[in-house]
Chain A
Amino acid sequence: MGEELARATVVAKAYGDCVAVRTATCIFRAGEIQAVCGENGAGKSTLLKMVAGMIVPDAGEVVVRGTKLLPHTPREAIARGVAMVLQHFALVPVFTALENVVLGAEPRTGFGTVDWATARARLERVTARLGMHFPLDVPVSELGVGDRQRLEIARALYRDAQLVILDEPTAVLTKVEANALYAALRALADEGKGIVVVTHKMDEVRAHADVVTVMRRGELVFTRTLDRSADVAAQVDEVTAGIMGAVHGGRGARAASHEAPAVGETVLEVRGVSLGRALDGIDLELRAGEIVGIAGVEGNGQHELVGVLAGELAPDRGAVKGARTSVVREDRQHDGLVLDADLRDNLVLGELGDLRGKLGTLDLGAIEGEAEKRLAASGANADLDRTARSLSGGNQQKIVVARALARLESTRARRARVLVASQPTRGVDLAAAADIHERLREAAREGAGVLVLSADLDELRSLASRILVIARGRLVAAFGPDVSDEEIGRHMLGLSAEERSPTEAA
């Protein structure tokens, strides 16, 4: 067992009535990859942010390498070698990768100016050791999500972090990228660093974790070392049981059977759509009743494709024909919800024009009724007076999905027939994800064409009857749901382009 790097001793944190961490004691050691698992709102992020100095605990203490963390600030934690990479990155978009890394820790020349040469050499050493390759001199806003993630890790290591905490690092990565990330993390652990990873994904725990900590409703359920010499799968099943409590028995995600969809008429037809350098001749057809998945590495045109389908971006060439579209945005906190408004407003956001009475003023009763109905359908456990901000990530996503699904209802005057769901279960716990998947299937059964863009291949396989692969703005391949990770991964990275014969490529 490795040397202890940090520990949290009976820490607790509450926000008003909402208890984030009831009580937790946890040790973080060198040389290990420690997975922290639990549903949304279980308190994982709060616990780790306390360790990283970002949140001051109400009670208990955080000890870093033998002494109490005082003052309890991120600066002090970083100085002592504890760094955390947040789920929502903390990078300055207009700064370059290099500038972001040195920000706040600039090496100085004799004249007091920033010593860029030293900084660059040092960062290059770090990235080379991790096997990371991304341009250091372009603004971060031009980097993909995967590169931003690597940049955050590089920044932590640049500052000599001994304990690196990552909050859902693979939520935005493809399988191939995630595997590369874990390989880098393993190398760091072998060097003697401590690695802590928050994750919802049990296959990652099975494949990569040495130690697993499970949290549920603010309590630390257990921390255990995975015994690689015994049956790991069985141990991981116990972890899953620990996460879910007594409610769920098995592993819900793969429950879906692939009944052949009863497909109907074409509801969406995309022909030769190109947009700047982002999209290059996209052809796509979606029929009523089917779910089509689009897999791809983040930043290969998915964002722009959603924009075009939503009618916000006009393509340079090509055309989109078809029915009205309802969209679930990938970034629920910025694009999906008004966090400080109540659920009532969030559930009918943008539809107030349809909820007016005789005098042109809003029909408050109709708003209330519609919101109530959608809230009930959402399966989110909350009441209408709560703000969206006060909900857990899973419940927030249920609200967003419920609103998008309401647009598909057959009774609506301006009914949407196409549902575009971008990363519909990103950062959402297993139970909520299973719930959202079921609602997407239901939407398809009731006659909508559903397009799911996701970085999670398991998600696509369990939902879609066809999986298309997008790479560099092109749809490069199409598969059935039984395709292997490796096969799809090769296409996502654009590796198979040269393998194809010229006729096939054309």
Chain B
Amino acid sequence: MNVAKAPSIPAFVGRALASPPPAVAGLAAGWLAFCLLVWGYGASPRAMAVLVFEGTWGTTYGAGQVLFKATPLLFTGIAVDLALRGGLFNIGAEGQLAVASLVAGVVGSRLPAGTPGIVAVPITLAFAMSAGALWALVPALMRSRFGAHEVISTIMMNRIADGVVGLALGAGLALTGTVRTADVVAGAHLTPLEAIHSGFRGSAASVALVLGVLTVVVVFASYRRTRFGRELGLVGLNARAMAAEGVPVASRLTQALVVSGALAGAASLGTVLGYKGYFEEGLGAGAGFTGLAVALLGRGSAIGLVLAALLFGTLQQGGLAVNAHVPKELMDVLQGVVICALALADARIRAHLRGRA
């Protein structure tokens, strides 16, 4: 009996090490990378960690900046999560957001000057989300009609978005001599949080943050409470059985990518309407990719997703805080490491990447 028991204990430990909970693995790998990199630059990991904390959650300004950075991530995170429900990897949130942001800047600046916020914001948002949806529709159709893998096509759509946005700005959508659109009308500007509560003074965060959290909550509720959301999750688990039961699997997946694109486009609330007040080339860049990490880390619950967005917001803001001592790109490396560790630890992602029927 003893002989038989003995090998089972290391086997158990080995299994736990081989597949820890994804969030734990991601954070542990991130912390390790942080220590090594900081140490490599000759700084003290501990001192840098203190700086990061002070620059983020240590002051109300820092906290406000974290909230600001987390805002677009809420939207791109939930966008990626929704597609992932159906088993699709929307790597294209980046491009969908870029196109949507351009449209938000253009539409928002062409509205009549006196348009009230209650009209201006919904109209601008509707156009921006439609643009994001349209950008996602291309890979969605390529998938449903020709079986093109959405990972490849959404990545390529990102590159195309880069080029198209630059071309469009150059072709007259930008103010002459610049790479930015005109200012959106005053009504399309979202209220900054500092105008609501003095504690946020100096922070760039706006009510877009509230809208982002609300969106996350509503989308998660829809997974359980709407036909689309619930069927999408079941399709992600076994498309064959759903097809056999008469659920239109192909159109569910197409819809999922399109809605995902629209949600990614809504992130322009945080950047264009909530912050700059115009669109310029590169605004919001990176939010789409970081949204992937947010979705992977926060999977399973609305709270998890919001916390993940806050974590990555913290990392971005923390990079600025230590910039005097170590390059802020260190934080980008950190994000990359966390994403890779998450991908390795999440069995569902591994299974997905191994191949799909």
A residues near B (Cβ < 8 Å) are: 56-61, 310, 312, 327, 329, 334-341, 345, 349-353, 356, 360-362, 364
Contacts and interface: CB of A to CB of B under 8 A. Distances in A.
A349 B225 contact: no
Interface of B: 1, 3-5, 8, 11, 224-227, 230-231, 233-234, 237-238, 240-242, 244-247
Contact of B1 (A59, A335, A360, A362): A59
B244 A327 contact: yes
A337 to B, nearest CB: 6
Given A59-B1, A59-B5, A338 B234 contact: yes
B4 A61 contact: yes
Contacts of B1: 59
29 contacts: A57-B4, A58-B8, A61-B3, A310-B244, A312-B244, A327-B244, A329-B244, A334-B240, A334-B241, A335-B240, A335-B241, A336-B241, A338-B237, A338-B238, A340-B238, A341-B234, A341-B238, A345-B234, A349-B241, A350-B246, A351-B245, A352-B227, A352-B230, A352-B231, A353-B227, A356-B227, A362-B224, A362-B225, A362-B230
Contacts of A335: 240-241, 244
Contacts of B230: 345, 352, 362
Contact of A60 (B4, B225, B246): B4
Contacts of A351: 245
Question: Is chain B's binding surface mostly helix, strand, loop or mixed?
Answer: helix
A416 B189 CA distance: 55
Contacts, number: 64
A336 B241 CA distance: 5
A334 B4 CA distance: 36
A349 B230 CA distance: 10
Given A57-B4, A341-B234, A361 B241 contact: no
Contact of B238 (A56, A337, A362): A337
Given A57-B4, A59-B1, A338 B242 contact: yes
Nearest to B228: A352
- 4 nearest interchain CB pairs? A350-B245, A338-B238, A335-B244, A352-B227
B103 to A, nearest CB: 28
Given A334-B241, A340-B238, A360-B226, 10 more contacts: A334-B238, A335-B244, A338-B234, A338-B238, A345-B234, A350-B247, A352-B231, A356-B227, A364-B224, A364-B225
Contacts of A336: 241, 244
Nearest to A361: B225
Contacts of B226: 360-362
A345 B236 CA distance: 13
A362 B233 CA distance: 14
Contact of B237 (A329, A340, A350): A340
A361 B5 CA distance: 52
Nearest to A353: B227
A327 B225 CA distance: 27
A312 B246 CA distance: 9
A398 B5 CA distance: 38
Nearest to A362: B225
Contacts of A59: 1, 4-5
A310 B242 CA distance: 14
A72 B249 CA distance: 41
Contacts of A312: 244
A69 to B, nearest CB: 12
A430 B8 CA distance: 36
A453 to B, nearest CB: 15
A349 B237 contact: no
A60 B11 CA distance: 16
A334 B234 CA distance: 13
Contacts of A361: 225-226
Contacts of A338: 234, 237-238, 241-242
A61 B8 CA distance: 12
Contacts of A362: 224-227, 230
Contacts of B240: 334-335
**Interface hub of B11, B237, B247 (most chain A Cβ within 10 A):** B237
Nearest to A387: B237
A349 B242 contact: yes
Nearest to A403: B245
A337 B239 CA distance: 10
B4 A349 contact: no
A446 B241 CA distance: 27
**Interface hub of A56, A312, A337, A361 (most chain B Cβ within 10 A):** A361
B224 to A, nearest CB: 7
A47 to B, nearest CB: 16
A335 B240 CA distance: 6
Contacts of B234: 338, 341, 345, 349
B266 to A, nearest CB: 21
Given A59-B1, A60-B4, A352-B230, A339 B238 contact: yes
Nearest to B8: A58
Contacts of B5: 59
Contacts of A345: 230, 234
